Structure 1
């Protein structure tokens, strides 16, 4: 039976660890928290040893995983073995190994499979075997009409009561970004955790200085996620707040350089580790990488340098000074939408 991530947490609290778990979905925050719940349950039940295997494409070493599962533990009576599947597909070899483990689990191993993408097409005999021997939890994306309820529940879990209008305001500001929503709720818990009564819209506004405080982090994430409309909205907000373009360009250049580096890498997972990229952010970069070949990301990086020079008055377009805000918007729209790349020639 497929569980929600919330239901998985309840199951973990009420029973001994099962031999195997599958946590899957394209919503990074929910997948991360569900996997963390399994890790916490393992620690609570005395499992201190943890091994992690990144299985991506041709670089996946299933023989090494098989050897690790069947090797006796040197330091603990039980181990947590994590298998990360960025694409959600273990292939024939991996599927066979996982199914075999489920049929005859190693007594000293709890297997946690984490799939970064998931749909009905990803399921197979291997995931059915996990469901029989353990639990399958899927983090389905939160739909727009579900976001207010999700935010409200998140607030309640942190001991905060808010009016429906205040919840709606917070949901509007985070633009459907669950990670941003979670961060804002945690901030509210610190600022208003001791307050009695309900937070109304005015108090929410006072506590969260425009959560969509239209910050540059959200701006770049919107571009990498392909959210062109959000790019224009956030950029307009930054401009209205009086932000200076040179202050924004450091993060823009940094993120574009990261994507360009990942685009050239032979092994995505290994490069993410080398770049110290948080696992929840990997899906953002993957979506961006599917938009352009490596050389195009290098071109966007060059364009970012041009925008920076325009903002500092070092570049003119024709006889008039160039509009740095317009050029930055064109750059980020091109980052978000392949069809907008033609704007860069304007």
Structure 2
């Protein structure tokens, strides 16, 4: 039976004979394992046996442990790790034998990497699946990650503004472990108040002298010397580049909506409120809108996307590219420099 981690609790009473945890997401794998073990302990499964299918692994040892009497308790957990998720013909035959010898005093937990589609159709997998639960642990993306994030925010009883949620989504998509640790930190620091994106920046920027909001304000105002200085300081202080890209994307997204409205002869009055732009910040956007064309804003977004793509896919923190991007908020520099490709390492 295939069950996802957030529904696993429904499959623990009563405990099944076997649980298979396969996937490459560390947080999902460990959370699933811990959840099963915690529930098993309440049911008297106090002894744990750990086996790893390494070179020369003796599959008969699994049968021996299955049939052995516990020295310390009446119930035991056998954890079997399959590093390649390939038990082979011998292992498959052993699994079939075990499932024919039902033992309510033994719980089998099998862990390994993500399974390919053909592996879930194999005889060994179907044998175990018919007698237990399969928990696939692939890292959620997009809307699935958003749902996971919302669930964890509720779990920690936190209240976050929309901007704060968007910031967490941008910073931690693809890294559940880091996201969960950050939410635990927020629970300690702000357990009973709404958390804004500004507060998130303060928590996660390592007490920086400057922050992403000062940087984007300088960019919007075309204060190039100030922007470059802030960028240099942020780099020296070890501020994470994803935080800076999040702030830049946010402002460029707002600029794109405002400029598109102007190009369509629409009034900005309704958009100011919709985008939550207060009176004191309107001059910043007006200055950028008067200065930049729609094409230039779209080009800025494309350049920012290149930086983010190379950061996420190749781990490249291109601070030179970020400095170049900042310069492009000046239309004169844009005309002179926009032809230069940011992905110069390719």
For the aligned pair, the TM-score class normalised by the smaller chain equals 0.5 to 0.7
| Alignment partners' CA distance in 1, 2:139 and 2:175 | 10
Q: Which ranges in structure 1 are unaligned for 5 or more consecutive residues?
A: 212-235, 244-331, 334-342
Task: Choose from 181, 190, 196 the match for 1:200.
Answer: 196
The farther-off stretch of 126-135 and 71-80 is: 126-135
Match of 2:112 in 1: 115
Task: Choose from 152, 161, 164 the match for 1:163.
Answer: 161
Deviation at 1:239? 7.2
Deviation at 1:153? 1.6
User: How many positions carry a matched residue from both structures?
Assistant: 218
Is the 2:114–2:136 Cα contact (8 Å) retained in structure 1?
no
Match of 1:105 in 2: 102
| Alignment partners' CA distance in 2, 1:161 and 1:242 | 29
Is the 1:85–1:113 Cα contact (8 Å) retained in structure 2?
yes
| Alignment partners' CA distance in 1, 2:103 and 2:109 | 13
CA shift digits 1:258-298 (9 cap, x unpaired): xxxxxxxxxxxxxxxxxxxxxxxxxxxxxxxxxxxxxxxxx
CA RMSD of aligned residues (A): 2.6
Match of 2:88 in 1: 91
Deviation at 1:175? 5.0
CA shift digits 1:115-150 (9 cap, x unpaired): 222222222222222222121111122124432332
**Partner SS, residue 110 of structure 1:** strand
TM, length-normalised to structure 1: 0.58
Match of 2:211 in 1: none
Task: Choose from 123, 126, 129 the match for 2:124.
Answer: 126
**Partner SS, residue 86 of structure 1:** coil
Match of 1:5 in 2: 5
Runs of 4+ with >6 A deviation: 236-239
CA shift digits 1:10-56 (9 cap, x unpaired): 322xx121211111111121011101111111111111100000113
Instruction: Kindly name which structure, 1 or 2, has the bigger radius of gyration based on alpha carbons.
Output: 2
**Partner SS, residue 178 of structure 2:** helix
2:239 counterpart of 1:241: no
**Partner SS, residue 118 of structure 1:** coil
| Alignment partners' CA distance in 2, 1:207 and 1:39 | 33
Write out aligned runs for 1:8-23 (5 A). 8-12=8-12, 15-23=13-21
